């Protein structure tokens, strides 16, 4: 029986107190809420398209605005992702996806290599979706990449509707992440000529 690939992380500050549990080999289920409706929607589809289970608990200072909560969620999620991936033995490591959503096309390429970097190109319309400011998209993905150790490239090829743009980015990330953590029995050790990631 395979070892469960589960990671947990907890972040407590004067602004937030968040706990995350992630199972890379889940059923695509989200349990819990971050308290920001649009972000909950993005997390739900991250689970579904990333084929992972995510459990959230805690609180953020949403009476101020969602910024601290969303960024700290990214940090906590990234830390849990790194813990779940463990030594990355047998993992495909790379993932790539392009996702259309009506008039929008978004792309993601990532390397789960331990070298954190975010490159986000293209235009995300600056607006508010419910209580979610779209400028938080970059903050969230940067936090995830830094804590998970992802080299993460995201691109909006084109798109008009802000909801479509952000949702397509999250779906592309989810699909690329699912590819990168796939276990391949042909891979001995880690997928690197160095023998170490």
Q: 3-state class of 120 per DSSP?
A: strand
- Distance CA(72)–CA(65), nearest Å, equals 13
pTM (two decimals): 0.96
- Distance CA(160)–CA(138), nearest Å, equals 18
Confidence of residue 194 (pLDDT cuts 50, 70, 90): confident
What is the rounded average pLDDT of the residues 189-193?
Answer: 90
User: Which structure tokens are listed for 51?
Assistant: 């084929």
What is the rounded average pLDDT of the residues 124-130?
Answer: 96
User: Which structure tokens are listed for 181?
Assistant: 């953590």
Q: Is 192 within the bounds of a domain?
A: no
Confidence of residue 3 (pLDDT cuts 50, 70, 90): confident
Q: Is 189 within the bounds of a domain?
A: no
pLDDT score recorded for residue 193: 86
Residue 86 lies in domain: 6-180
Q: What is the CATH number of the domain that holds 97?
A: 3.30.230.40
- Distance CA(81)–CA(149), nearest Å, equals 9
Q: Is residue 10 pLDDT above 90, yes or no? A: yes
Q: Is 172 within the bounds of a domain?
A: yes
What is the rounded average pLDDT of the residues 119-133?
Answer: 96
What is the rounded average pLDDT of the residues 104-112?
Answer: 98
Confidence of residue 195 (pLDDT cuts 50, 70, 90): confident
Q: Are 91 and 85 in contact (CB under 8 A)?
A: yes
Q: Is 15 within the bounds of a domain?
A: yes
Q: What is the pLDDT of residues 144-165, one digit of tens each?
A: 999 999 999 999 999 999 999 9
- Distance CA(12)–CA(26), nearest Å, equals 26
Q: Is 79 within the bounds of a domain?
A: yes
Burial (CB count <10 Å: 0-12, 13-18, 19+), residue 99: buried
Report the percentage of the chain scoring pLDDT > 90.
Answer: 94
């Amino acid at each position: 029986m395979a070892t469960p690939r589960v990671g947990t992380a907890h972040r407590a500050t004067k602004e937030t107190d968040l706990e995350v549990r992630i199972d890379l080999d889940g059923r695509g289920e989200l349990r819990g809420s971050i308290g920001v409706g649009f972000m909950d929607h993005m997390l739900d589809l991250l689970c579904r398209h990333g084929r992972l289970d995510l459990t959230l608990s805690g609180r953020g200072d949403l009476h101020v605005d969602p910024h601290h909560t969303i960024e700290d969620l990214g940090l906590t999620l990234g830390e849990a992702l790194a813990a779940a991936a463990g030594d990355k033995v047998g993992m495909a490591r790379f993932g790539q996806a392009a996702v259309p959503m009506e008039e929008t096309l978004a792309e993601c390429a990532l390397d789960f290599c331990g070298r954190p970097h975010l490159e986000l190109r293209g235009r995300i319309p600056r607006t508010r979706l419910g209580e979610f400011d779209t400028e938080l998209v970059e903050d969230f993905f940067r936090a995830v990449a830094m804590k998970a150790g992802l080299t993460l490239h995201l691109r909006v090829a084109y798109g008009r509707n802000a909801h479509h743009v952000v949702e397509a980015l999250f779906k592309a990330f989810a699909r690329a992440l699912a590819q990168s953590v796939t276990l391949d029995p042909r891979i001995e050790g880690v997928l690197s000529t160095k023998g170490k990631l």
